Structure formats: structure tokens, C-alpha cells
Chain A
Amino acid sequence: MISKLSLKTRNSLKGLLLVSPALFFFAVFVYRPLIHTAILSFHDWNMVSPTRLFVGWDNYLEMLENPALGKALQNSALYAVWLIGIIILLPILTTAGMTYVHNRVRKMFRVTLFSPTVVSLGIASVMWLWVFNPIGGLLGTIWEELGLAPLNWLSSPKTALVAIVIIVGWKAFGYNMLLLLAGLGGISGEVIDACKVDGADGFGLWLYVILPLLSPTIFFILISTLSMATEYVFTPIHVLTGGGPVNASTNIVFEIWRQAFRWFRVGYSSAIAIAVFLIFFVLMIFQMWLSEKVVSYDER
């Protein structure tokens, strides 16, 4: 039967056959759930009851009024700002510094600074729990040796968010640094040499030549940092602060989890999820538009 079909059709069928497992998978675990979440967001449901109540836009309206959600959104932005500083600006400076270092030493730094990246955030959170512990923990003890008042990093509303930022920053720093180093390796030496001949010195060279050439990498890192500010922070928040004290360290993904799996408010949680999806969608479109306008893709 199949042999009667033309060669082109047969090839076409083979191609479709090859992608079908992946397509089936995406249909079941990505596309269908996305629609399901959208439907659930218009309902009131506790995950176990056989009936769910259609409530229209109520869940979305509640989002506008619920102060915990406002705090979660505000914190998500705060996480993003902190993380942009720690895992974008700092790695750029480090990468710049590392170009002036002996090759052997650079390799050593690369491995050292990258090693936290492979550690699970769950395990890292437990390790940092002890670093932040006010009695006997590393930071607490140093604090006291310096003669400062004891500070409980994780249970003070002023520092809980910063503590989470430190953990995620510690983990993600090396990954971004490696991406930047790889990007730097992709810039042709001739361009740099030509600029040096024309009299560009260290700072000017970086500001006007290297950074613009690195901008594709920097854009890539920026987007992954934004998703870290929403997704990565969940684990340390869950393990260490539970979103508290008084919602000081909660974020939008933690709110999705907490509403659905602790308070069984599936509809409301779905509405938040859809809002996150829309925010990311807009950011992605904006990023694509911006990268077409600004990013310089050099010919490699």
C-alpha cells in the first residue's frame, strides 16, 4: 500500500512519523494544559469536588484587589532588579577582569565560579540555611564577631528577599559568566586589534566595541534572568521562608503554588498563571522587537 505512494509523499510521512512522539508529548503536556489552565481560571474549584462553579472574570477581579498578589508582583520585579545586578552586571565586570589574567589562572577561576551552578537549588537552600542561621551560622557568627546586633536574615522582613537573591545569585552567576566568556571568545581578535591600533584603551574598548558586540549574549542572559527571577526563586522560598515573613519574600510562582496546593483555590491560582503567561508573552515580543532594533549581530 505504502509503496504505491510517490517518493515525496512517503518522505513526508516519514518526517511526520519522526516528529510525532515529540508532537504528541507537547500536545499532552504543554498545549492542552495551557488551554485547560485558561478554562480553570474562569471557575471556582477545590481540585477534589466533582463540580466546578463558573464564576466569569471573578478570579481576575480578585487579583486586582488581593494585597498578597500585589506584593508578589512587586517582589517579582524586585527579584528581577537584584538579579540583573548580581548575575548580569557582576559577571560582565568579572569577564572583563578575567581577560587580563593569566590563562591558567583564568581556567581555574572558571571552574571555581561555575561549580555552584550544578548544585541543586534544594540542596543549596539547605546549605545556605545554615550559613544564614543567626546562632552558629557563618554570617551570624561573623556578624557577632564584628560586634553587630544579631540579625536573622531569613525571618526579618527587610532581609528575607535579599537572602533568597544571594542564594539564586550564587548559583546562577557562573552560568552567565561562562556564556559571556564564550561570547567574548567569538569576537574576532582582528576587530579588537584594529581598535587598539586606532587608540582605544581598556575602558573605551569595552564600552564602545566589546559590549555592543556581546549584546546578543547579554540579551539572551537578560531573558533567562527574568525567568530565573520568577521560577528559580521558588525553591529557596519554599525551603527557607515560606514566602514570609508577612509575604516579604513571596513571588508570583510561589503564589501560584500556594493558592493551588496549599489552599486548593485552583481557579484563582490558574488566573495568576494565565497572567504570568501573558506578562511573559508581552516581554518576549518586546525582547524580539528590541533585539531587532538594537542588537548587533557581527559576522562570525
Chain B
Amino acid sequence: MLSKHLHWRYRFRKHLQRGLLYFILFAGAAIMILPFFWMITSSLKAADEITLRTIQWFPKIPQWENYKIAWEAAPFGTYFQNSFTIALAVTFIEVVFSSLAAYAFANFNFFGKNFLFILFLGTMMIPGEVMLIPNYITMVNFGWVDTYQALIIPWTVSVFSIFLLRQFFMSIPRDLFEAALLDGCSKFRYLLTVLLPLSKPALVTVMLFKFIGSWNSFLWVLILTNTPKMRTIPVGLTYFISDVGAYYNYLMAASTFAMAPILVLFLVLQKQFIQGIAHTGLKG
């Protein structure tokens, strides 16, 4: 009788703990999602609903035309086009340069290899802002202010991707390299037809991170653009704040469509994202 009672109490405590844990986790997740939710419902509210002083979770009648009005109020089409062009170009060029360098570090012996590798890794130690002014001056001297080049070229190499690709290349058996060379495969063809196809997971990680990083970059775009025709979507959206004044429903409609492409990309490729981060985490 007593043991049964104890058993029941033990089970009750376990359930209570688990229930509490689920409650805390769900509450936490809800808090993380709430800003998104508030943005989307606000984007569909009418102008008089936006300033209500009591909580109104949903609009009475969804105002879909808010999206149309917001879209037409600023050159968002241009902003999107710029963001896509820049992010794609940066990602593509970076993959080419990083694969070449990573291939050299993984499969070749050359003069000054270790020194160069440390020199490259050292760039990770320098906060980007330290180079901000000279790089800006360089762009001015090149006459590149307000051009695609300025927003693309300075971001096309990063140690992070060289390092990640090198790690991956090194995990592919060296025998394969020797055998391919013996069979008369040129070194460049080996990279193109063997190494890169085998390194797909690492390449996907590098490309995803670069694409998102470029899409989200702010400070550089801010100082290197001075007309709307070159602005990207995050910078363009912040300029929209002063345009809309108190019409936060339009601002939230714009925020929603500004955010949508990256969130959709993430939801579609969530597996690659999560594995990619696991890759980077293994090296501390």
C-alpha cells in the first residue's frame, strides 16, 4: 500500500517536472515568434486600428492592399534586385577563390605555405570596422561609390570558407589524389570533377552562410550607397521608416515582404543550415 503510494507520488513529480519544462519551452518559443506575429497582423490592420491602446491580436478586416501601397511607396523592386544580384555574385566569386586557396592548402606543398595559412587565419582576429575607413577611401579612389563593384568585390574572400573547405578537402583520402594523377588526370580537373563534387555538404554550408551574410550586410551598404538605385533591401527598408511616418501598418507590410525570401530559404533548406552550423561548431 505504502509503496504504491510512493510510486504514485514519484510519477506525479516526474509528470509535473516534465509539464513545467514543456511549458517553459513553449513559452520561450512563443516569445521568439511573437514579434513576427505582431508584424504580420499589424501589416494587415487599418490605419485606425494601428494606434489602439488595447491589445488587438487580429485585424477586423485584413487590409491586403497595405502590401500594394507599401510596395509602390518606395523602389522595393530595385532593392530586391540589388540584394539578389550582390548576394549571388559575392557567393559565386567567393566559392571560386576559396576553393582554389583551400585546394592549395590541402593538397599542395609550396614555399611559405604554413606562414601564409597563419597570415590568412590572422584576418579573423581583426574586427571588420578597423578597416572601414581605408576601404571606404579605396572605393572613393576607384570611383566605385554607388556601384555594384563596391558592394561585391570587397566581400569575395573569407578565411572562414577557405578554412572550412580545406578541412573538408583534407578529409578526402589522399590516395584518390595520387591515383587520379597516375591515371593522367590534371590537377585542375581533379579539383573540378572529383574534389568539388565530393565536397557538396561543405560547399552548401559556405554558400548558404555567404549568401545570408551578404543579404543581411548593413554598415558597408549604408556608407557606400547614396542613391536609392543601389540600396539593398535591409538598408532600403530603414530609409522607408521616415517615409511612412506614423503609418506603421505600411512599414510592417514592407518588413514582412522584406523578410520573406530569407525565411522561406531557411524553411526550405533548414536541414542544410542546421548541419552547416554543426560543421562550424566542431572546430572551436
Proximity string of chain B (222-239) to chain A, C-beta cutoff 8 Å, 1 when within and 0 when not: 110000000001110110
A144 within 8 A of B: yes
B116 within 8 A of A: yes
* Complex-state Cα separation, A27 to B116, whole angstroms: 12
Tell me how far the C-beta of B60 lies from the nearest C-beta in chain A, rounded to whole angstroms: 15
**B270 and chain A: residue at smallest CB distance:** A111
B15 within 8 A of A: no
Stretch at the interface among A53-61, A77-85, A112-120, A153-161: A112-120
* Complex-state Cα separation, A122 to B218, whole angstroms: 7
Stretch at the interface among B2-10, B171-179, B192-200, B248-256: B248-256
Interface residues of B (CB under 8 A from A): 18, 21-22, 24-25, 28-29, 32-36, 38-39, 42, 50-55, 97-98, 100-101, 103-105, 108-113, 116, 119-120, 123, 125-135, 137-138, 154, 156-157, 162, 187, 212, 215-216, 218-219, 222-223, 233-235, 237-238, 240-241, 248, 251-252, 254-255, 258-259, 262-263, 265-267, 270, 273-274, 277-278, 280-282, 284
User: Can you list 10 A-B pairs with a CB-CB distance of less than 8 A?
Assistant: A30-B126, A30-B131, A110-B274, A113-B29, A127-B36, A130-B38, A130-B39, A136-B50, A145-B54, A173-B32
**A contacts with B, residue count (CB < 8 A):** 97
Chain A residues with Cβ under 8 A from B51's Cβ?
A: 135-136
A152 within 8 A of B: no
Chain A residues with Cβ under 8 A from B34's Cβ?
A: 138
> In A222-269, which residues have CB < 8 Å from any B CB?
227, 230-231, 234-235, 238-239, 253, 256-257, 260-261, 266, 269
Chain B residues with Cβ under 8 A from A26's Cβ?
A: 119-120, 123, 157
A-B CB contacts (within 8 Å), total count:
269
- Chief secondary structure at chain A's binding surface: helix
**B96 and chain A: residue at smallest CB distance:** A21
Is the CB–CB distance between B255 and A123 below 8 Å?
Answer: yes
Is the CB–CB distance between A22 and B282 below 8 Å?
Answer: no
> In A97-150, which residues have CB < 8 Å from any B CB?
97-98, 100-101, 105, 109-116, 118-123, 125-131, 133, 135-136, 138, 141-142, 144-145
Tell me how far the C-beta of A250 lies from the nearest C-beta in chain B, rounded to whole angstroms: 14
A220's contact among B123, B130, B284, by CB below 8 Å, is which? B284
If A11-B110, A21-B101, A30-B131 touch, whether A121 touches B216 (CB-CB below 8 Å) is yes
- Chief secondary structure at chain B's binding surface: helix
Chain B residues with Cβ under 8 A from A179's Cβ?
A: 277, 280-281
Enumerate the 4 nearest inter-chain pairs by beta-carbon distance, A residue then B residue, closest first.
A122-B234, A15-B110, A15-B108, A33-B134
B25's contact among A94, A135, A142, A170, by CB below 8 Å, is which? A94
Tell me how far the C-beta of B215 lies from the nearest C-beta in chain A, rounded to whole angstroms: 7
Tell me how far the C-beta of A35 lies from the nearest C-beta in chain B, rounded to whole angstroms: 8
Chain A residues with Cβ under 8 A from B35's Cβ?
A: 127-128, 131, 138, 170
**B125 and chain A: residue at smallest CB distance:** A284
Chain B residues with Cβ under 8 A from A119's Cβ?
A: 216, 259, 262-263
Is the CB–CB distance between A19 and B138 below 8 Å?
Answer: no
If A116-B32, A138-B35, A182-B281 touch, whether A238 touches B129 (CB-CB below 8 Å) is no
Given contacts A19-B110, A33-B133, 19 further A-B contacts (CB under 8 A): A15-B104, A16-B104, A18-B100, A22-B97, A22-B98, A22-B100, A22-B162, A29-B131, A29-B135, A30-B126, A37-B130, A40-B133, A101-B22, A115-B33, A120-B259, A122-B234, A126-B251, A220-B281, A273-B132
Is the CB–CB distance between B100 and A19 below 8 Å?
Answer: yes
Is the CB–CB distance between B215 and A120 below 8 Å?
Answer: yes
Chain B residues with Cβ under 8 A from A212's Cβ?
A: none
Stretch at the interface among A62-70, A189-197, A203-211, A274-282: A274-282
